[in-house]
Amino acid sequence: MELQNADYVLEMRDISKAFPGVQALKDVTLKVRPGSVHAIMGENGAGKSTLMKCLFGIYTRDSGEIIHNGKSVNYSGTLDAIKDHIAMIHQELHPEPHLSVMENIWLGRLPIKHGIVDFKKMEVDTKKLLSRLKVNLNPKDIVKKLSVSHIQSIEIAKAVSFDAQVIIMDEPTSSLTAEEVDQLFALIRDLKATDVSILYISHKIDEIKRIADEVTIMRDGQVIGNWPINDISEDMIISKMVGRDLTNRFPPRTHKPGEVYMKVEGYSSIHDNSFQDVSFELRRGEILGIGGLIGAQRTELVESLFGLRAIKAGRLVLNGKTVTIRNPQDAMANEIALLTEDRKGQGIFSILSVAENIYIASYAKLAKFLGYIDAKVCTEIAGRRVKQLNIKTPSLRTPINSLSGGNQQKTLIGRGLETEPTVLLLDEPTRGIDVGAKYEIYKIIEDLARQSKCVIFISSEMPELIGMADRIIVMCEGRKTGELTGSDISEERILKLATKFMV
């Protein structure tokens, strides 16, 4: 084996990974120096999390090599990696809520004396560990009562207890307050001083400017480049993250927006940390994009328009009439349809057939005396939608879970259309589906607009938002931060508005 470069504690070399229909990673190389904070930036879908999953062996990489301390490694999971001093702090933390701080740290390797758990030793060790990290926590506290930032500190303490040399943090500040972010950064600096490296995944540019030593930018599964943090400006980071050719990825725009059909005025969630005071208008035959980062409360907003979430204030006007929507039945009666973001959890009935998944929301229309459902009529309806939307399925009776993500999504669009809506709320309609199917979904959306339907289109992928929408409103932390039309629309502007309130 060739001599390895000791300048790096962790190297990922030429990592490639393909999924059916999409090249998720292509020759990605990433080198982490000891005692440094290395940021990875990129849009949603750029391949950051796929890369991490390849590192930890959650996905098997197609090619490439991972070198840790000069040795080629192949981990079979996060536990395997943490024993080899590589730890991950996830964006969503899942501690054991009913156990104490110390048990959470030492779980799986509790100190044993005479066959009994040695709580005294555990407490002493935990105290030592926490004081070293300057974390002010009682080892005996029950985790359930602690804040997210404290739980995060416990995770970091756990990583340190394994003598972690590299700690990967995935969007660590996404649910922290400004003060907690400062504390986290202090902790990161302390760790750096003890030669621990941090691989910091984020799309918050200001944060990265503050804490990172160098930055690697990814886009479309490839590394765009690697820069020392002082050699790259914020604007340059944005343009490297988003810059790409937009021609022909979208169907030609032939629809023409008409008169105003829907008005949303001062919509405010009953939860103070969700959307507040959001207003906008929507025309017939218009595609209105809603941009923003994860956590911008866009899903919550459209779900409240569909009656799935309660509001404390706000008015909805449809076609000049004020309407009240308390539940999905109200929404459907007012010709609103929702395509949910969570296809598996809130969309498909995985064990039911493709046909039933199409007509299941239309029983109100289909039911006869006593609620009798004529199977023949249903099958005809489903067959028509399958043809119209080009849903590729072996038969109408095939269970929907044996279809590809794109075809499942088209089936769900069919379900929505079967309720004969005027307003369609599409929440991340192309998430997790391959490129070819995406284009078909775009075509369906364009067709809907041409048929004078009103479309609200939420997407975290800015190119498709720009490629499809006539107008874009941007949200940040539950508030509408701007509205862009025509030549005002650009990825830079959207990203600036989407991060307006962020530190």
419 near another protein, judged by CB under 8 A = yes
448 near another protein, judged by CB under 8 A = no
305 near another protein, judged by CB under 8 A = no
Among 18, 124, 176, 352, binds another protein (CB under 8 A): 352
360 near another protein, judged by CB under 8 A = yes
Q: How far is the CB of 302 from another protein (least distance, A)?
A: 11
Burial per residue of 428-442, b for 16 or more beta-carbon CB atoms within 10 angstroms, e otherwise: bbbbebeeebbbbbb
CA distance linking residue 212 with residue 194, whole number of Å: 16
Stretch that binds another protein, among 47-55, 261-269, 394-402, 449-457 (CB under 8 A): 394-402
CA distance linking residue 481 with residue 426, whole number of Å: 20
370 near another protein, judged by CB under 8 A = yes
**Nearest residue to 419 (alpha-carbon basis) of 497, 490, 332, 344:** 332
Q: How far is the CB of 352 from another protein (least distance, A)?
A: 6
**Nearest residue to 377 (alpha-carbon basis) of 394, 392, 355:** 355
Among 348, 444, 468, 484, binds another protein (CB under 8 A): 348
Would you say 63 or 329 has its CB closer to another protein?
329
| Interface characters, 270-289, with another protein (x: CB under 8 A) | --------------------
3-state secondary structure 231-267: HCCHHHHHHHHHCCCCCCCCCCCCCCCCCEEEEEEEE
Would you say 48 or 385 has its CB closer to another protein?
385
Would you say 18 or 361 has its CB closer to another protein?
361
Would you say 205 or 396 has its CB closer to another protein?
396
CB 400 within 8 A of CB 355: no
- What DSSP assignment string belongs to 167-227? EEEESTTTT--HHHHHHHHHHHHHHHHTT-EEEEE---HHHHHHH-SEEEEEETTEEEEEE
394 near another protein, judged by CB under 8 A = no
Q: How far is the CB of 341 from another protein (least distance, A)?
A: 11
428 near another protein, judged by CB under 8 A = no
Q: How far is the CB of 382 from another protein (least distance, A)?
A: 13
Among 105, 198, 290, 338, binds another protein (CB under 8 A): 338
CB 459 within 8 A of CB 289: yes
350 near another protein, judged by CB under 8 A = yes
- Tell me how crowded residue 344 is: count the other CB atoms within 10 A of its CB: 12
| Interface characters, 316-335, with another protein (x: CB under 8 A) | ------------xx-xx---
Range 271-274, long-range pairs (CB < 8 A, 24+ positions): 273/478, 274/300, 274/309, 274/478
402 near another protein, judged by CB under 8 A = yes
Strand pairing partners for 483? 473
CA distance linking residue 17 with residue 61, whole number of Å: 5
Among 107, 270, 294, 373, binds another protein (CB under 8 A): 373
What residue ranges bind another protein (CB under 8 A)? Answer: 306, 308, 328-329, 331-332, 338, 340, 342, 345-352, 356, 360-361, 363-364, 366-367, 370-373, 375, 399, 401-402, 415, 419
